[in-house]
């Protein structure tokens, strides 16, 4: 195969391509001409600079088009929905149920199942608007399903997922991909234990109520002994107690 040849743009001679240099605008010239090597170096440097600018512009365009790459918001690694860890939801559920109990709504965790009261759910949705529960699975927990899960994650995340060995999956993707629900695998206490704990809780609650009632009686007796009449003593005791006061329940004469 013959060596490639080109026509010199200065002397118009046909020469081997290897004996010429590119001088811009698709033209080539013999290396032996004065100043050709300097011109060729400047053209080459300009080409490298243009390539660097194009690559930088391309990276910036990708960042603008894909802002979640630099976002710190917790998301499902498969469907990219906005998420919050299930453990955080459970912790917040306990806090809200305690607040509801103080407000006079005991058993808020079971109220939705028993009587359709969704006060707890409404407060949770207000706490985490637009969020979906997220489980964190390790490679060992997924076992044979690990390769399948990794294939379904975003390409940009796969290297990190393989490196660290865990992945965040929302509850919807858990059901869709038929991944074992981590909550279903939690150990369940026996019925006898739950019954015993319920009896203990009721006994402690009753003892606490009796203690508070006795404290109310003592406040009323103290104020009566200091010269107040019964009505004023009960009113003062009610002010001092955050639980209120009912004289009949405390065995006092309300007449």
* Residue range 126-147, pLDDT digits in tens: 888 888 888 889 988 888 999 9
What angle do helix axes 119-127 and 86-102 make, rounded to 10 degrees?
A: 130
| Residue whose token pair is 């899960």 | 149
Tell me what the pLDDT averaged over the chain comes to: 75
Residue 151, domain member (yes or no): no
CA distance 90 to 88: 5
How many CB atoms neighbour CB 36 within 10 A? 19
CA distance 165 to 146: 9
164 near 153, Cβ under 8 Å? no
Provide the number of structural domains found in the chain.
3
9 shares its domain with 59: yes
Least confident window among 132-136, 181-185, 193-197: 193-197
Residues across the chain: 255
Residue 98, domain member (yes or no): yes
From 107, 129, 151, give the residue that closes a domain: 129
Residue 10, domain member (yes or no): yes
Over residues 59-82, the pLDDT tens digits come to 877 666 555 445 567 888 888 888
| Across 104-125, average pLDDT | 60
27 near 43, Cβ under 8 Å? no
pTM (two decimals): 0.42
Domain containing 98 equals 86-129
| Residue whose token pair is 């994650």 | 153
Query: What's the confidence (pLDDT) of residue 10?
Result: 87
Query: What's the confidence (pLDDT) of residue 46?
Result: 87
Query: What's the confidence (pLDDT) of residue 219?
Result: 75
Higher-confidence residue of 157 and 97: namely: 157
Residue 147, domain member (yes or no): no
Query: What burial letters (b/e) apply to 111-121, b meaning 16+ CB within 10 Å?
Result: beeeeebeebe
Burial-class residue 169 by CB neighbours within 10 Å (0-12, 13-18, 19+).
buried
Confidence of residue 213 (pLDDT cuts 50, 70, 90): low
CA distance 170 to 131: 10
Q: Closest Cα partner for 123 from 102, 108, 104, 107?
A: 108
Residue 145, domain member (yes or no): no
CA distance 31 to 11: 11
Residue 114, domain member (yes or no): yes
Residue 218, domain member (yes or no): yes
- The segment with the largest mean pLDDT, out of 56-65, 149-158, 180-189, is 149-158
């Amino acid at each position: 195969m013959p060596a490639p040849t080109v026509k010199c743009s200065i002397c118009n001679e046909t020469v081997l391509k290897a004996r010429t240099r590119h001088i811009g605008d698709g033209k080539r010239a013999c290396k032996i001409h004065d100043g050709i090597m300097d011109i060729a170096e400047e053209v080459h440097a300009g080409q490298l600079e243009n390539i660097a600018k194009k690559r930088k512009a391309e990276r910036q365009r990708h960042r603008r088009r894909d802002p979640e790459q630099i976002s710190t918001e917790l998301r499902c690694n498969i469907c990219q929905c906005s998420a919050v860890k299930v453990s955080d939801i459970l912790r917040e559920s306990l806090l809200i149920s305690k607040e509801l109990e103080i407000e006079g709504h005991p058993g808020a965790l079971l109220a939705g199942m028993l009587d359709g009261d969704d006060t707890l759910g409404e407060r949770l949705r207000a706490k985490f608007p637009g969020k979906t529960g997220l489980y964190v699975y390790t490679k060992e927990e997924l076992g044979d399903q690990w390769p399948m899960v990794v294939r379904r994650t975003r390409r940009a995340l796969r290297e990190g997922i393989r490196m660290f060995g865990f992945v965040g999956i929302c509850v919807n993707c858990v059901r869709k991909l038929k991944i074992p629900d981590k909550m279903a695998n939690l150990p369940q206490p026996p019925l006898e234990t739950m019954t015993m704990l319920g009896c203990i809780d009721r006994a402690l609650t009753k003892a606490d109520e009796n203690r508070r009632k006795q404290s109310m009686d003592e406040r009323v007796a103290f104020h009566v002994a200091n010269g107040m009449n019964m009505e004023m003593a009960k009113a003062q005791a009610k002010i001092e107690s955050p639980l209120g006061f009912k004289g009949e329940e405390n065995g006092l004469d309300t007449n």
